Amino acid sequence: MIAVESAAASGLTSCHTCYQLVSTQSHRCPRCHSSVHARISNSVQRTMALVATAALLYIPAMTLPIMRTVSLGTPMDSTVVGGVVVLWHMGSYPIAAIIFVASVFVPVGKLIALTVLCWFVTYGKGVTPQQQTVLYRITELVGKWSMIDVFVVSILVALIKLGDVLSFYPGVAALTFACVVIITMVAAELFDPRLIWDKAAQHE
Amino acid sequence: MSEVDPTAATVEDKPPRIQAIWILPLLVLVVGIYVVVQAYFEQGPTITVRFETAAGLQAGKTQLKALNVEIGLVEEISLADNLSHVLVTAKLNPGTESLLREDTQIWVERPRVGAGGISGLGTLLSGAYVELSPGTGTTGQREFLGLEQVPATAPGVPGVRIALYSDRSNSVSPGDPVLYRGFKVGKVETTEFDLESSQMRYTAFVDAPYDQLVTQGTRFWNASGLNLEADASGIRLQAGSLTSLIAGGVSFDVPDIAEIGVPVEDGTSFRLYPDQRSSETNPYRFGRLLVAEFEQSLRGLDAGAPIEYRGIRVGTVERIITSQIGEMHGAGTAIPVVLRAEPGRFGLGDTADALQQLDENLAFMVANGLRATVQTGNLLTGSLYISLDHYPDAEPALIGKYDAYPTLPTISSGLERLERQVATLLDKINALPLGDTVEELNATIARARTLLASVDKIVNDEATKALPARLEATLVELERAAASFAEGSELYGGANETLTELSQTLASVRALAQKLEDRPNTLIFSTPQNPDPEPGMGSQ
């Protein structure tokens, strides 16, 4: 692996707003006058706080009903996992798989990936920055698909209103699940991938 | 590395310290814990209801409702261990504890079509739900026995709940009206067949204020259907209202001959008579069961036969105990008959106290010769009845005991008694020495005949024949002798003269006797001569 000197090591940093290279000594961008930081401040800690929040919210999102179906006056609450199981038993394997991936695999994977990355940039040893970068890329990629459940619920609730015959109502889990997705997105944004390389440079 | 590390200076310019953003997960945690704790402590009660079947119920879907307000959800439906019933576990909303009382009734509301109307139509679309009707008892009950039928009357409704029983089903079904003189005052709630007593049992509810009409003297009868009777006085047709004709119903009233009594309490039991007439003929509730043992044929005596005291009905034959017919008994087994004597018919009133009075009266009457007899009621059909009467010449007896029943002493009577007397008479006649008597009689007759022959001989004798003529001659002589004493005859004149002389003699004897009385010395001294009376010599 070729050691590449970072911009910070050369006394330069990039403006967050207009990407103008400015000296690390100046606190203002000479072009757009926005505040300049070499790295996102307290990135690891803030990311971890949001990851923890998302993880806590994920518990009710999974256990509480995400949607209430009232069919002919009989209400039926369904949770995400319950819905996956029902779809699987009904033979709709692809849909079951999609929902499982979108609502269980992706959020959980994202939370774990962010946690692992934070761990590496703080204490990590023996893992190459390249591997960490791959993990970060994957995190970025899958994050876009995790709102599927919330979309399904909101579309059903909005579209199908047949009174006593068939109606859908969003459950508490729909709200918490949306929060989980949003908070993990923010957490991913707050994680500064440059820390991976800073760490590598530090170890050299 | 240089002494000044630009990375360290720029990237980690501040020592890592606790960031404000940690408030966010903390907040979520606190809210989460609060919600969980609140949910735990504000958890509604969980109840278990036992049903015969879970028809129409679905775990997690079926709701619990009270007065159509949703109060909970069925959580689990499971079979009982012995597969005889299902256990429905339901979770109720917080704050519903007050609905769960001792006498809370729970049933499944399904569509029902009955004579009384159609109910639960709403559940056709929405599906069945579990209805809960809170009672008035103590709270805290968590296990319930679900009702299979919708209770006709909600608990707490003022009125009186009574039990009815009858020997056969009278086509009375739940929801049928209870009528008082044709006006609906309540309804039948449940019907069931009681195996132990082999009777139909009904419960009926009479709403306030009509519950005051149900008194101790009340009689219930089945008001459904038509009643056609034909007898010597014509044809009678009895029919209730059209509703009761189609749907059936129970009527009640107090028969004229019965006492009204006081309004009854909940749970009082009444007999349900098949029709109004039989309810009036059996108007007494209290009766003393007695046993009378008869040593004679009871052919024609049936349960229901009347018991009469000098022709006035006082009770009914309940049954004839036949279980001991085969017992070894030299003179044949007496057959016990269970009698029901009703104090109300004795004029003692239809109360429990009157039973005691009846016992005392019967003991006294039995000691004074009251006996039960079997009498023929109808010569054509041979039906019998029990008659009570006094037989002062009967052997003394007292009220005894047969199993749990007091016994009445009996005597055979009626035809049976007559038969016995005739038989005894014939026996006596049979026992007479008729043969000897006839022989003796024959001998006597023979001797009499000889006697008559000798008499005949005497009569036909010549001397006997001459007897009248000689008798006549004697009489003529007697007549002549009598004529010589007649007036004017010689004998008569002499006798007359003698009698006159005798009379004169007696007169002089009387004069002598007079003189001697005046002067007893006359016989010795002569009688002094009295001077002759002179004129003018009298006193001056």
In terms of Cβ atoms closer than 10 Å to its own Cβ (0-12, 13-18, 19+), residue B408 is buried
Quick check: A159 and A151 in contact, CB under 8 A?
Answer: no
Q: Is the pLDDT of residue B4 over 60?
A: no
Q: Is the pLDDT of residue B540 over 60?
A: no
Which residues in chain A are closer than 8 Å to B39, comparing Cβ atoms? none
Query: How large is the average pLDDT for residues B305-318?
Result: 86
| Chain B: closest CA distance from residue A70 (Å) | 10
A50 touches chain B (CB under 8 A): yes
Query: How large is the average pLDDT for residues A178-184?
Result: 86
**Are A38 and B58 within 8 A, CB to CB?**
no
Question: Over chain B, what is the mean pLDDT?
Answer: 80
Q: Structural domain boundaries of chain B? A: 46-145, 159-281, 288-424, 490-520
**How much is the pLDDT for B3?**
39
Query: How large is the average pLDDT for residues B490-500?
Result: 85
Nearest to B277, CA basis, from B313, B229, B346: B229
**Does residue B143 sit in helix, strand or coil?**
strand
**How much is the pLDDT for B22?**
83
Q: Is the pLDDT of residue B5 over 60?
A: no
Query: How large is the average pLDDT for residues A159-183?
Result: 80
Quick check: B387 and B373 in contact, CB under 8 A?
Answer: yes
Nearest to A37, CA basis, from B13, B369, B526: B13
Query: How large is the average pLDDT for residues B452-472?
Result: 87
Q: Is the pLDDT of residue B123 over 80?
A: no
> What is the Cα–Cα distance from A48 to A54, expressed in whole angstroms?
10
A11 touches chain B (CB under 8 A): yes
Sorting pLDDT into bands at 50, 70 and 90, what band is B448? very high
Across A12-136, where does the E strand assignment appear? 12-14, 21-23, 67-71, 74-78
Which residues in chain A are closer than 8 Å to B32, comparing Cβ atoms? 56, 59-60
Helix (H) or strand (E) holding B428, with range, is: helix B415-431
Burial A125-147 (b: 16+ CB within 10 A, else e): eebebeebeebbeebbebbeebb
B16 touches chain A (CB under 8 A): yes
Quick check: B192 and B169 in contact, CB under 8 A?
Answer: no
B38 touches chain A (CB under 8 A): no
> What's the N-to-C CA distance of chain B in angstroms?
232
Which residues in chain B are closer than 8 Å to A57, comparing Cβ atoms? 28
| Chain B: closest CA distance from residue A35 (Å) | 14
Taking each helix axis from N to C terminus, what angle separates A129-142 and A194-203, rounded to the nearest 10 degrees? 170
**How much is the pLDDT for A198?**
74
Nearest to A191, CA basis, from A14, A47, A52, A13: A47
**Are B21 and A49 within 8 A, CB to CB?**
yes
A109 touches chain B (CB under 8 A): no
Which residues in chain A are closer than 8 Å to B24, comparing Cβ atoms? 49-50, 53
Sorting pLDDT into bands at 50, 70 and 90, what band is A4? low
Sorting pLDDT into bands at 50, 70 and 90, what band is B233? low
Of the listed ranges A23-27, A56-60, B267-271, the least confidently predicted one is A23-27
Residue written as token pair 């009955």: B114
A102 touches chain B (CB under 8 A): no
pLDDT tens column, B367-405: 888 888 888 877 777 788 888 888 888 777 778 888 788
Sorting pLDDT into bands at 50, 70 and 90, what band is B441? very high
Helix (H) or strand (E) holding B11, with range, is: helix B6-11
What tokens does B424 get? 């005894």
> What is the Cα–Cα distance from B540 to A100, expressed in whole angstroms?
198
Residue in A13, A49, A164 closest to B24 by CB: A49
Query: How large is the average pLDDT for residues B486-508?
Result: 85
Of the listed ranges B32-46, B150-164, B198-212, B486-500, the least confidently predicted one is B150-164
Query: How large is the average pLDDT for residues B27-32?
Result: 88
Q: Using CA of residue B238, residue B243, residue B249, residue B255, what is the dihedral sign? A: negative
- In DSSP terms, B409 is beta-bridged to none
Give A167 or B498, the one with higher predicted confidence: B498
Residue in A11, A46, A201 closest to B19 by CB: A46
**How much is the pLDDT for B7?**
45
Residues 6+ apart with CB under 8 A from A156: A67, A168
Helix (H) or strand (E) holding B407, with range, is: strand B405-408
Backbone phi, psi, residue B504, to 5°:
-65, -45
**Are B127 and A202 within 8 A, CB to CB?**
no
Which residues in chain A are closer than 8 Å to B62, comparing Cβ atoms? 74
* Proportion of chain B above pLDDT 90, given as a percent: 6
Sorting pLDDT into bands at 50, 70 and 90, what band is B13? very low
Sorting pLDDT into bands at 50, 70 and 90, what band is B257? low
Specify which of A72-81, A123-132, B226-235, B438-447 reaches the highest per-range mean pLDDT: B438-447
**How much is the pLDDT for B443?**
93
Give A157 or B258, the one with higher predicted confidence: A157
Residue written as token pair 């007479």: B432
Q: Is the pLDDT of residue B187 over 70?
A: yes
Give A36 or A188, the one with higher predicted confidence: A188
Quick check: B25 and A52 in contact, CB under 8 A?
Answer: yes
Which residues in chain A are closer than 8 Å to B61, comparing Cβ atoms? 74-76
DSSP B42-65: TPPPEEEEEES--TT--TTT-EEE
**Are B7 and A202 within 8 A, CB to CB?**
yes
| Chain A: closest CA distance from residue B142 (Å) | 25
**Are A74 and B127 within 8 A, CB to CB?**
yes
**Number of neighbours of residue A24 by Cβ within 10 angstroms:** 21
Residue written as token pair 């049928």: B176
Query: How large is the average pLDDT for residues B132-156?
Result: 78
> What is the Cα–Cα distance from B72 to B9, expressed in whole angstroms?
63
Residue in A52, A76, A198 closest to B7 by CB: A198
Sorting pLDDT into bands at 50, 70 and 90, what band is B501? very high
Sorting pLDDT into bands at 50, 70 and 90, what band is B258? low
Give B501 or B355, the one with higher predicted confidence: B501
Q: Is the pLDDT of residue A38 over 70?
A: no
Of the listed ranges A118-122, A197-201, B240-244, B392-396, the least confidently predicted one is B240-244
Sorting pLDDT into bands at 50, 70 and 90, what band is A146? low
Quick check: B336 and B296 in contact, CB under 8 A?
Answer: no
Sorting pLDDT into bands at 50, 70 and 90, what band is B12? very low
Residues 6+ apart with CB under 8 A from B112: B118, B119, B120, B150
pLDDT tens column, B55-101: 888 887 788 888 888 888 888 888 888 888 899 999 888 888 888 88
How far CA B377 is from CA of B334, B374, B382, B383, in Å, comes to 21, 9, 7, 6
Quick check: B220 and B251 in contact, CB under 8 A?
Answer: yes
Q: Using CA of residue B297, residue B302, residue B303, residue B304, what is the dihedral sign? A: negative
How far CA B450 is from CA of A167, B31, B437, in Å, comes to 141, 152, 20
Question: Over chain A, what is the mean pLDDT?
Answer: 79
